[in-house]
Amino acid sequence: MGSVNCHTALHNNMALVYGDLMKICEYDCWFQAWGTQHIPASLVAMLENVTIEEQGEIMGWTGAELRRGLRRGFGISQKAGPKETRVGTIGHLNTALNLALPPQKPEGFVIQVTDDRIIIAGQDPQGALYGAYRLLALLRLGGISPGTRIAEAPAGSHRIINHWDNLDGTVERGYAGNSLFYKDNRIDFDPQRIEDYARLLASVGINRISINNANVRKAAKKLITETYLPDVAKLAAIFRPFGIRLLLSINFASPYLLGEVSTADPLDPAVQDWWKARSEVIYRYIPDLAGFVVKADSEFEPGPFQYGRTHAQGANMLAAALKPHGGEVIWRCFVYNCTQDWRDPSIDRAKAAYDHFMPLDGGFDQNVLLQIKFGPYDFQVREPVSPLFGRLSKTRHIMELQITQEYTGQQIDLCYLPWIWEDIMNFDTAYRPASTIRELLGPSIEGLAGVSNVGLDQNWTGHTLAQANLYGYGRLGWDPNLSAQKIAEEWSLLTFGESDAAQTVTKLLMKSYPVYEGYNAPFGVCFMVNPGSHYGPNPEGYEFSKWGTYHRADRQSIGVDRGPTGTGYTEHYSPQKAGLFRDPSRCPEELILFFHRLRYDYRMKNNETLIQNIYNAHFEGYEAVEAMRNDWMGLKGKLDETVYTSVLSRLEQQLENAREWRDVINTYFWRKTGIPDAKGRLVYG
């Protein structure tokens, strides 16, 4: 078939027609139009007759979403008949239909299919909405037939997307075009686009979204004034029926930046009153605002340190202002010295978050949650999991992940992040009997916050296959037991249908992360990027920098001794974990340079030297990208041409970049050490 502007098709509710090839609408992401062919007729008859049992904004919207999804996704329209689909809350349906569905955790649901009826029962209206989306996905993925009974509930209560969007329309670390929300220092959005975005997010369980950059200093500090609040309220209204509550990033110095009080000292009553009054105004516009996100005393953002106050004092002051409205303070732990002296080896940036926040455990009010980056640095390709997890025991907290690919290829390179997120979930803090991150997500880590990877690009994420990262983030926050493989299979199938493409894509996704790590920064060395852009190789880009983070490569050795005789970072972990990290022979090799300073002739487990392993990783990484590009080319003619071409062009760029990484890093080490590659591949001496 010819090219269809699927965005227009979407707006006109046109179903897309298939030719010989699966026609993929990049804009539709994991909601491709499929037709009824995959669904048994008995189910179709039930799905044609959807009844929503209860009133209310989210429940009403659930009905609209389900009917819309059935119509657009499968061509199923509504008509009366003897078979039916009933949607409501568990409590109501149990009474109305004389069922005995068991209660679920908040936002959970049960889907039950009998011979003539599908039940979607939410623990609450939001649960019903998630049940409806799950049903739509399962109709594509398989697994719905008479006799099916599924019960699910999200692991964490907080499933957050953080936007780093600036009011001028740019997006910090954004690789998919400009902001969905802002333009030219105004709130400016296409309501349809926001609705479509909300649908994508809600369908994978997202329930909160912060809409402005945590670096509020740079922009958007006025978002909490009445110049902007009416428009913020309009955005909130679009997200609301999807069960997504807005968060606003605020600037800690707002009281004086907005010109009303001369200080921002959290212990000053005038400051406290200012925030209370401001919160009242904000909540008049957005009564269900989820709260504030705060980046304080971090990378030049103002904070309580300015007044000699602690972060607990700062956060609690805001918490008091939000409490009457049911709001929460999401306080980021990304606090470190960004004006450090590279000459001083006693400063270890990796220790900062722990050193700042562990002593405050128990000092935060009940409506404060600490938002902790997964690792102690800053979203590097490989970092150990932050030692705050498992250790904080009296403070509510969530984990921050980066969906946008800042250090992981900037949506040029294919890099499937659930692969590493699975690894993070597997990390055993070794503090309690149930102590992996996966097990702690819910009971102790109350959720995830992920930095958004979307923008105005027609396919949302720049690289079409980066949609898998957004999808995977949502799915993992909902169910941390899902494997990266399973998520890749789901996403590929939902996006590409049952096809060669889906199978190839799953394989490429699963390969992509270790491949990227290989040509980028293997063995936990971190930060070998160009300062500023954080893209492209620069082995000493952060060696003499005030931002910190040094690998200190010399002629003989590389890496940082973070054991007790070094910076002492290992001692932040449980004794079992610290013992493992301290000992180079037991330390996971993918992190060995993070924890140890080693000679280049150190023998790794494969009995080759460290330097040879570094060379190999970069050479093999490049070759693997070439193979990935070739695998993709094997899909020519088997896949929608637009998607084929756009992904191919990214893979070509990735190959070029991998070549640059390979040659710059390997040549750097060859020149530094004088040790040749055992296989004679180095030529740029």
**Which residues contact ligand GCU by CB under 6 A?**
172-173, 214-215, 295, 299, 334, 378, 406
CB of 215 to ligand GCU, least distance (A): 5
- Cβ atoms of 458 and 7 within 8 Å: the answer is yes
DSSP3 helix / strand / coil % (the chain, rounded to 5): 40, 10, 45
Q: Is 406 a known active-site residue?
A: yes
CB of 214 to ligand GCU, least distance (A): 5
Closer of 338 and 430 to ligand GCU (Cβ) = 338
CB of 167 to ligand GCU, least distance (A): 15
Q: Is 378 a known active-site residue?
A: yes
CB of 413 to ligand GCU, least distance (A): 17
Closer of 254 and 380 to ligand GCU (Cβ) = 380
Closer of 299 and 540 to ligand GCU (Cβ) = 299
User: Pairing mode, if any, of strands 109-113 and 149-152?
Assistant: antiparallel
CB of 372 to ligand GCU, least distance (A): 11
Question: Residue 438 to residues 114, 283, 390, 400, 442: CA-CA distances in angstroms?
Answer: 33, 35, 11, 14, 9
Closer of 449 and 487 to ligand GCU (Cβ) = 449
Q: Is 299 a known active-site residue?
A: yes
Cα separation of 663 and 667, whole Å?
Answer: 6
Of 299, 423, 428, 631, the catalytic one is 299
Cα separation of 342 and 50, whole Å?
Answer: 65
Cα separation of 77 and 48, whole Å?
Answer: 6
- Cβ atoms of 349 and 549 within 8 Å: the answer is yes
E-assigned strand segments in 207-364: 208-210, 245-250, 291-294, 328-332
CB of 533 to ligand GCU, least distance (A): 10
What φ, ψ does residue 109 adopt, rounded to 5°? -155, 165
CB of 406 to ligand GCU, least distance (A): 6
Collapsing DSSP states into helix, strand and coil, what is residue 611? Answer: helix
What φ, ψ does residue 485 adopt, rounded to 5°? -60, -45
Residue-by-residue DSSP string for 428-491: B--SSSS-BHHHHBTTTEEEEEEE----SSTTSSSSGGGHHHHHHHHHHHH-TTS-HHHHHHHH
174 Rama class: left (phi>0) / alpha (psi -120 to 50) / beta: beta
User: Pairing mode, if any, of strands 291-294 and 328-332?
Assistant: parallel
Cα separation of 317 and 314, whole Å?
Answer: 5
| Continuous segment of H or E residues that includes residue 397 | strand 397-402
Cα separation of 644 and 148, whole Å?
Answer: 37
Closer of 336 and 595 to ligand GCU (Cβ) = 336
- Which tokens sit at 551? 């690998």
* Cα dihedral value 473, 479, 482, 488, nearest 10: -30
CB of 200 to ligand GCU, least distance (A): 23
Closer of 214 and 399 to ligand GCU (Cβ) = 214
Of 406, 446, 489, 517, the catalytic one is 406
Closer of 178 and 503 to ligand GCU (Cβ) = 178
Of 53, 301, 378, 663, the catalytic one is 378
Question: Residue 434 to residues 393, 424, 442, 444, 624: CA-CA distances in angstroms?
Answer: 14, 15, 12, 11, 37
| Continuous segment of H or E residues that includes residue 620 | helix 610-633
CB of 624 to ligand GCU, least distance (A): 27
Closer of 436 and 520 to ligand GCU (Cβ) = 520
Closer of 348 and 406 to ligand GCU (Cβ) = 406
> Taking Cα atoms as reference points, which of 568, 556, 554, 562 lies closest to residue 524?
562
Closer of 378 and 663 to ligand GCU (Cβ) = 378
CB of 302 to ligand GCU, least distance (A): 14
CB of 352 to ligand GCU, least distance (A): 12
- Neighbouring residues of 271: CB distance < 8 A, sequence distance ≥ 6: 255, 261, 263, 264, 265, 317
Question: Residue 173 to residues 170, 213, 403, 404: CA-CA distances in angstroms?
Answer: 9, 10, 10, 7
> Taking Cα atoms as reference points, which of 352, 265, 276, 355 lies closest to residue 313?
265
Closer of 215 and 340 to ligand GCU (Cβ) = 215
Catalytic machinery residues: 299, 378, 406
